[in-house]
Structures are given as C-alpha cells and as structure tokens.
Structure 1
Amino acid sequence: MITRRLRLLLACSAVTAAALISSCTASDLSDDPTSSASAPSPLQMPEEEAVDEFSPLIVSSVAGDPVPVRGTDGLYHLVYELQILNSSPRPAAISSITSSAGGDEISMMTSADVIARTLPIGDYPFPPEAMSEIPAGTTAVVLMDTTFESRDAVPGQIDHELTATFGEVRSGQANYATLFPTEATAHATTRIGAGDPVVVGPPLTGADWVAVNACCSLSPHRGTMIPIGGRINAAERYAIDWSRFDLSRPLVENGEQSTFAGDPTVNANYYTYDQPVLAVAEGEVAVVVDDLPDAEPHVLQEGLPLSEYGGNHIVLKIADGVYAFYAHLKPGSVTVQVGDHVRLGDEIARTGNSGNTTESHLHFHLMDGTAPLTATNLPFEISSFTMQGNGNEDGSEFVLDRGQRENELPLILSGIGFPD
C-alpha cells in the first residue's frame, strides 16, 4: 500500500472518477448478484439436519464476475471484492480468508492482509483507510486480488472460507443477542467471467508516465466502492491515473512529488499538463464536456456535483458495450464532437486539471455504459508499451525494469513509455 503522501497525488476522476478490440463485451461480465453464495439455507437440508443457527456474517461477491487480466508483473490477476455484512450485535474481526478451487488451496490472507484490504461502506475518507474490525450492523468490502502464473491455471470459480472472531454485545440488545457466537466461519463463491480483457492502444504518447492510482492494492481507485445504480459498484476497479514524472529522481523527494518544475501552484509547470490525449481504438464519440475550468493544483474544489467530478471529459464508444472514459482534460482542448468517428491514435484532447483532482493527470478507464459511476468497470490491457520500472511503496525509490511489453495492464506505480 502506498503512503498517504503519494496517494494524495491524484483524486479519483469519478468519485473523488477495431482490430485492437478483443472478444470481451459487457455481456461477458455478469452483473448477476447470485454469482456468489453464502452457506446453504436450512430449507435445502434434509429435515433431520435442519437446525436454527445464527449467521453473523453474510458474504457475497460484488458484481460482476472477474476476468483474468495480465499485469506488468507477468501474473494473471482476478480483481474482485467480497462484500461482508456483519449481522451480529458484536463487532467482527476477520481472522483469515482462504481461497481454493476444486478443493485445492490457492491463497490464504491472514488478519493483517485482510485489514489492509478492508473498507467500510458509508464512510469515505480520502485517501481511503483500511479498517481493523467491522462494527455490528455494518457492511464492509474486502478488495481481492488473486493471481495465477498462467491463463490456463485460472479456475472456473473460487471458493472462499472466512474465519472471524467477535467482541462484546452492544448494550441494550434483546436477550437473544448474547446467543450470537464469538467465533464463526462463513463461505462465498466467486464465479470467473467469460471472455478476455479488452485490448486497446496507448492513451498517451512519450515516456515517463506513472500509473499512480491503479490496480491492484488499496488506492483511491480500488477504494471507490460506492452505492449507486441499486448496488455496491466497484466503479474504478481497473482505472488508471496517469501522471508524468521526472524518473531520474525518486517519485517523492524532500516531501515533494517529482511531477513539476518551478512554481507548484501553476498548472503549466506540471509535466503532465497540456499533453496529447489519444483515441485508444477506432470508435464514435458518445459524450463531450469541454467548458469546465482547471482547478488550482493541490486544492480540491468544494461542492462539485457528481457530474463534474471528472471535469472536462470524453466518452468514446469503441465496441458494443465498451466505452473509453478520459477525464480531467484541459478546458477548450477537446477536438471532437458527439457523433464524430475517430481512428486509433487520433489526438482528441489535451491533459488538464479540471474536476475533482489535486494536480494534472489523465484518468482513463473502460466501462460498459456512458455513466462512469453507474457503469461496470471493464478490465483492459494495452497493446504495446515500454516498461521503464516500478516505484516502491513510499515513492522514495524508482527501480528500473526496462523492456518491451504487449497486452498487459500497467499496475500501480509502474513507469511506462508510450510510442511518440
């Protein structure tokens, strides 16, 4: 998990956020909430086995079913969330989460691992903060990232076993509240989605771009778990905030991020500002906003409606049920109109600092509709780029790791060079 300083770099665009198109469409990513199951109902058991028993944890997967995506670490990531309702009158501490397939253990998260990836619903600090226990009557989500060495190793479903301990019963509760257990086990199943990630071209040009808020650890993007569209939606699962750094220096040096030269209160002094934004595929322009002002660097704008959190933005329809979202664009820089057709690599705007943002960056993600918060976030890979290296957790060091890459999702703090 990156430090508070580095996480404060960029606000998420939505809530703070074609030969290159693969076979994945929105229909490949199920939103069926029944894709995850808790313990069987006693009504499904033989009559002689049915007993009355409290279920202190109600666990399910957040919709939709994950599709394996290949990251810049060479692993195939299944990115999803477990939604946990603590229906007990006691506070719950998750002790472990064991994931398995076909009876074979895949991974096991200890208490510390779980805490680092657990977020409450209904409490939205920025940057997001992990929670050590789930209060009585509260829902939380655990951000899951299960990895595999190869695509063939990914199973059709993953079974989860959660163990938990519980604290004291709250005062003033009914007498049966004391009958809730102090230890419990719960189960859930996550189905793996069909199809493959969408493959797109580069959204930017040139070197020294860092995926600041990106998959797969806790960040403002992975922490965007919001109740919208009648469900808890992971609106920015795979989203990336692209910021340009001076990679000859650490990402954070003397308390400052190496993203600018000169006066840090001037947008034009940031390496990201006023850079070309490219169409990642052939498509049709579906949404354009181009008249919102830039924000002052490191000053979050107050009172913005949700419709302006992305600032100036473009939505491109690049396939049936697949839309590309570009946010925080420079005022007046958009070169396209709704209904225009664009080709891969066309310049469609310039980077800016509009909307809910702390400094100039490009927010980019794919989704299955035109509304960035309500739509299902789609996994994607970038067709070709140069890997430059990786930042460490606190941004104090950038480790070189050069090489050409194809069809990978840049992971958090990876440094990337795109073709000029």
Structure 2
Amino acid sequence: MKSIHQPNSNDKFQNKWGFIIACIGSSVGMANIWLFPYRIGEFGGAAFLIPYILFVLLIGFSGVIGEMAFGRAMQSGPLGAFRKAFQQRNSRIGTFIGLIPVIGSLGIAIGYSVIIGWILKFLFDSITGTIVSGNNPEVLFADLSQNFGSISWHILGLVLVLVCMSFGISKGIEKVNKLMMPAFFLLFLFLAIRVSFLPGAYEGYTYLFKPDWSAMANPKTWVYAMGQAFFSLSLAGSGTVVYGSYLKWDVDIVSSAKYVALFDTLAALLAGLVIIPSVFAYGMEPGSGPGLLFITIPAVIQSIPFGQLFAVIFFLAVLFAGVTSLMNLLESPVEALQKHFGLSRIFSISVIGVITILVGIFVEGTLLSPWMDTISIYVIPLGALLAGITMFWICKKGFARNAVQTGRNKTLGRWFEPMTKYVFCGVCILVYILGIFYGGIG
C-alpha cells in the first residue's frame, strides 16, 4: 500500500478553499432547503437548533474529518480506500465493502437527477412567466412528476452536470463550486431580506425561532436533529472520501471540516429565513418535501410583488445547490471506473451518465419517493458506518490520527480516538437503526 505521504499525480483541488467550497457544495442540497426549515418548526423552533448544532459539531469533528482523511490517506475513492485498508489486515473483502457506498452514491444521484430536472423546468417557467401567470402550481407539478413526465428536463439537467464534471477536478468541479456556492448564498441572502418586508413574515420567524423547551424532552426531537445533521453533512462513505482523495497534503482537514459544518448550517438557516416567513405571510401551511418547493413556494410567488424576479432568483439558487450536490454524488462511481478499471474520465462520465438516465427514467413519478427512501434509509448510513469502522477500527493503530494530523500544525488532542471510534460509530449505528424504525429521519 502507498504511504499516506506519497504524492499522487491525479487532478487535485488547487487550494484549501477550493476543497472546502466543493465540500460545502456537496452538503448544501435539498435536505437544507425543503426539510430543515420544516423540522425546526415541527420540533420546538429554536429548541431544535440546540441538539442539531450539537450533532453537527459532533459529526463534523469526527465523521467528516474521518472521511476526508480516509480518502486523502488512501489516495482513492471508496473502492481503493476500503481495499487498501483491509489489506492492512490481510483481507481481500475491502473492494466488495467499498462497493456499498459507491452504489449508495449512485442510487441517490439517480433520484437527484430527476429533481434537478424539475428545478430546471421551474426555472424555465419562472423566466417565461408561466409561474406567475395564474396557473395552478399543483397541476403543473402533477404533470411534471407523473411517470415519464419530465424526461427532457431530466436529461437536460443531467447533461449540464456531466459537462461540468468533464473538465476534471480543478477546472471543473472546483471552479463550478466556486461560482455556484457564493452565488447561492448571495441569492438567498437577497431573498431573505426581501421576504422580511412581507406583511405577516413575523409569524414565520416565530415558527422558526420561538423555543418550545418542552420539545427537548421529546426523544424524537433528538432523533430527528441527529438525522438532519447526519444527512445534511453528506456522510455516506463516498463523496467526501473521493473529494478527500483529491486533497493536497498540506491542507488542515480539521479546519476544513469546521468551515464545511459552519456554512452548511448557515445555508440551512438562510433557506429557512426565505421559505418559512414567505409561506406564513400568505397564510399557507409549511410542509417538507417536493411539495414545498414546487407547489407551496410557486403559489406564494404568484402573490408577491415582482414575483417573477423572486421566482427566477429562487429557482436559480436552488439549481446551484442541486448541481453541486449531484456532482459530488456522481463523482464517486465516476472515480471508481476511472481509477480501478483504467477508463478515461470522459468515458467513465458517459457510462455513469447512461446508467443514471436509463434507471432514472423508470424511477420518475411514483417510484421516486420509495427509491430515495430505500437508498437513504438502508444504504447511505450503512456506507458511512462502514467507512467509520474501516478508518477507525480496521486500519492499524495510529493510522487515523496520522492521516488527520497530516497538514495540521496543532497536535490532535486525546479526544480524537474516543470521539471517532466510539461516539461517531455509535451515532452511525443509531442513525441506521432509528432510520429503519421511523421510516427515515433525514
């Protein structure tokens, strides 16, 4: 196995901030936009934020740094990283285990590509004015989300993402994230300021931030806060591992994880400050899932002055969040084909693109929700758990500490081993079991 300090000639992120922004892009997605605001209100307003932030800190400073360091130390995505780790124990099952997070990443990407198509269609309708023309958004979305209802937009959205990825890491993924992520924050900040002037927006802020401290005594508050933090930080043993493999040796991973956790949380709060007050301002019920973005928000937009401009900015920002997340999800299977089967990047992207669209077309409509639920409940947390066990238990003693310490001037404290080996792996087990029990918690 290569030394963890052996250089790699592969295309890499050019600097620390390029890597951080790409990881933020992978984390900021639909969970931040259509689920987080609803969860806050559902479980006690500001009272939900306390366990959520605690879990973000816990997971960020254990699982996120672990997956980043795992990829960089092994200079590979999941297939190669798991294989090399198990070779330390003279076992050959690592490649098979590494397939699980790769399959999970591809499975979620297939469903995500459908949603990207929906976003693209609603952005187009915003530009043309269809959304503000008085059409019933529920009817528009029903037509789009039926079986085989969005094939052209689905394909167009996926092609857009694959073209961005075709330029490689530094010239493709890094540059796209550097453009789209700052734009996402600026656009949502503008919308949040605009929404604050809507009559009745105060009720939305109350829903978001008025604490119901009794909710903290409800175990479900803690369960769903844990699930929201876990899935929002994109722990799956795949995408973050791959991005870590493109990271230079002089980058401080602990510092990088801190910024990823911070900006991911800010993105979720910013989305809440846009969506929930606008919903309350027009007397609608807040909800979660696709209905919030594609039915409730368009209905609100029809009533807002300059609603067409609002719609264009909103769906453009959501598209940026979706594209950056989908690039991360697809990079894991692309890297596996590219590195472990010796295929060119363009050919690997083409193969994964064909698989994604062929399966995705049949997932469109009634199968999308059960498909996404199955992958997110049974496969994604299993991938994160396997990555945690492999990094912190299977790899030889001291390996994980040395991998994280590389590029860091300050020595890791004694907290590292118990937080990673016991607390983080324990959280992964809880997320897996409770996700099955509750039918999904993030």
Normalised by the size of structure 1, how large is the TM-score?
0.25
Bigger Rg over Cα: 1
Q: Which has the higher contact order (CA 8 A, sep 6+)?
A: 2
Between structures 1 and 2, the one with greater strand share: 1
Provide the TM-score with structure 2 as the length reference.
Answer: 0.24
